[in-house]
Amino acid sequence: MHSINLTSAIAAGKQTNETISRQHKLLDEVQHALDVAYASSMAIESPLTVVANLLLLMAIIYRRKLHTTDCCTIASLAVANIFMGLTDMPMDAIVRIPNLEPLVRSNRPTCFFWWFSGTFGLFSSLNSLCLLSIERCIAIIWPLHYHKWLTLKRVLGVIVIVWVLEGMRASLIFFVGKYFESAPTLKGKCNYYYGLPKWFQNELGNYKVYVTFAISIVCCSLAAFIACRQVRRLEKTVGSTPTPAERRAMKRRKRNVGIAALVNYIVFLMWLPIQVESSVSRALELTYPQAHVIHTVGIIVLKTSLLVSPLVIALCRPTIRQAFLFFLTTPPWKWSEVRDHEIKDTTFLSKTSSGAPDVMPTTETPDKGTGEDVEVRNTE
């Protein structure tokens, strides 16, 4: 009797061990598949992100019409995205593949650089969006004081200060983070987040993101509401007919506010999955593989926002869109011509209905009163 019970117990134990072994094997397979998918997405998105944001930055540098305060914040956004595309995204692709991990040195400075590049680049991009929203809000609410308050030097100074503060904040990880020397992989050794103090985790993962997005969305929504109300008032004014210049100025103002709001809303929606994934996993009582799938997809969507934001700006802003087309269709040795002569609309746009080409003067200057692009009138 005892021998039968012992035999059945041994058989049950073997079956349990086999079940656990199969579960661990399945977990490892899921983990490997997710790592490969994530590394592949980063390998594809990294060069595209660098190229798209580099074109945006070049357009602002080369076009004199874009040397305005709002374009300074857009340039800051492009620089942050380029930094992410050159540092954090390639590192993510390398450390997720075991065969490629020997390409980087597995030590504390490497982990520090990986973490610093990710947090510094992401939050610098987020800060630039916030500055763009605040700048647009001031341009709409206080247009008469805009040029007095937001000069080009002041805006550049604020951008530099924000970047320095973000760099100091990201550098704290080197002093408060823990380096897991015993972990077998570089990803495990650099898993600083689990070794951070609770206050730093909350500030880094919650308060910083929520406060920045709240300021950005409130400013964009307020500016968009006021801009629409100004347009309605201008159209309903009795006994006054807006001049073409007034209509174009109002159209520019409304368009640029709409672009800033659209970019902020899109980026916010792409940041949202990674912010709520832990709450969703706890609420749905998901297993570790299921939660890890949601987490990986959330990170991919978040970093895709670095590629989406410059494309949205380029598609919605005619001057930047024309510059994109110019750089993509013109040999690099001819790009310097843009500094001496503005890009003519005839290069990219079709002729008007009358057959006469669009005309753009070569001595245009930016509209310093509002920081908007100077519109070009088509000859009829």
Dihedral over alpha carbons 188, 190, 191, 193 (to 10 degrees): 180
Residue 80 domain boundaries: 39-99+106-328
Beta-bridge partner residues of 367: 372
User: 303: which residues sit within 8 A by CB, 6+ positions away?
Assistant: 42, 45, 49, 84, 89
In this structure, are residues 365 and 152 in contact, taking their beta carbons and an 8 Å threshold?
A: no
Q: How many domains does the chain have?
A: 1
Tens-level pLDDT at each residue, the chain (380 residues): 445 555 665 555 555 555 555 555 656 676 777 778 888 888 899 999 999 999 999 989 888 888 888 889 999 999 999 999 998 898 888 877 766 666 666 677 777 888 888 889 988 999 999 999 998 888 888 888 888 888 888 999 999 999 999 998 888 777 776 777 766 666 666 766 556 666 666 666 567 788 888 899 898 888 888 888 877 776 666 455 667 776 777 777 778 888 888 898 999 889 888 888 878 888 888 777 778 788 888 889 999 999 999 999 988 888 888 888 888 888 888 776 655 445 444 443 333 333 333 333 334 444 444 444 433 333 33
Q: How far apart, in whole angstroms, are the C-alpha atoms of residue 123 and residue 215?
A: 14
Dihedral pair phi/psi, residue 342, rounded to 5°: -65, 150
User: 62: which residues sit within 8 A by CB, 6+ positions away?
Assistant: 323, 335, 338, 339
Q: How far apart, in whole angstroms, are the C-alpha atoms of residue 90 and residue 275?
A: 23
377 within a domain of the structure (yes/no): no
At 266, which amino acid appears? I
CATH number of the domain that residue 241 is part of: 1.20.1070.10
64 within a domain of the structure (yes/no): yes
pTM: 0.78
371 within a domain of the structure (yes/no): no
282 within a domain of the structure (yes/no): yes
Q: How far apart, in whole angstroms, are the C-alpha atoms of residue 227 and residue 219?
A: 12
Neighbours of 271 (CB within 10 A): 19
259 within a domain of the structure (yes/no): yes
355 within a domain of the structure (yes/no): no
Q: What is the DSSP letter of 64?
A: G
220 within a domain of the structure (yes/no): yes
- List the one residue out of 119, 105, 152 whose CA is nearest residue 366: 152
232: Cα separation from own chain's centroid: 33
Dihedral pair phi/psi, residue 171, rounded to 5°: -70, -15
244 within a domain of the structure (yes/no): yes
